[in-house]
Amino acid sequence: MGVARFWREIPQRYNILANECGSCNRVFFPPKESCPDCRRKSMGKMKEVKLSGKGEVITYTIIHVGQEGFEEQVPYAIAIIKLEEGPQITAQIVDCELDEVKIGMKVESTFRKIKQDGSTGAIYYGYKFIKRN
């Protein structure tokens, strides 16, 4: 990824940004250009919204064999989280013991290091989720 593209994507890297349909108020993450339900009525009515980052684990798995670049993090939990605004998101659960991760667990987003580029040393950040008190 080039430096210019990296800087253009900063708002998306540090916020969970979605689109909301101005006709039916449905929220989409990742953002969509038009609402698949309203179609023509939604053209030009989609607006960008920042999501709260709060949600609930609806399912999860524990990864024991990490993909390339994540081998040192195993074991770790990956969950599908239903956000308060409606969309579902897949993300890593951090800062809790693996046996604490449960379906129905309340979580909230946090921004953490995702990976580091070995050739340039650039550190990439993104959202992960932590247990909510």
Domain membership of residue 64 (yes or no) is yes
129, 125, 128: which is closest to 117 by C-alpha? 125
CA–CA distance, 94 with 131 (Å, rounded to integer) = 8
- Give first-to-last CA distance, the chain, whole Å: 37
Domain membership of residue 20 (yes or no) is no
pLDDT attached to residue 7: 47
Q: Which domain holds residue 122?
A: 53-131
Domain membership of residue 109 (yes or no) is yes
Does the predicted model carry a pTM greater than 0.75?
A: yes
Reading the block at residue 87, the tokens are: 């969309």
Whose tokens are 């399912």? That residue is 59
Domain membership of residue 9 (yes or no) is no
Domain membership of residue 105 (yes or no) is yes
State the average pLDDT over residues 40-44.
69
pLDDT attached to residue 123: 79
Number of independent structural domains in the chain = 1
Domain membership of residue 103 (yes or no) is yes
Angle at 91 between CA 4 and CA 123, to 5 degrees: 35
Tell me the CATH number at 111.
2.40.50
CA–CA distance, 94 with 52 (Å, rounded to integer) = 18
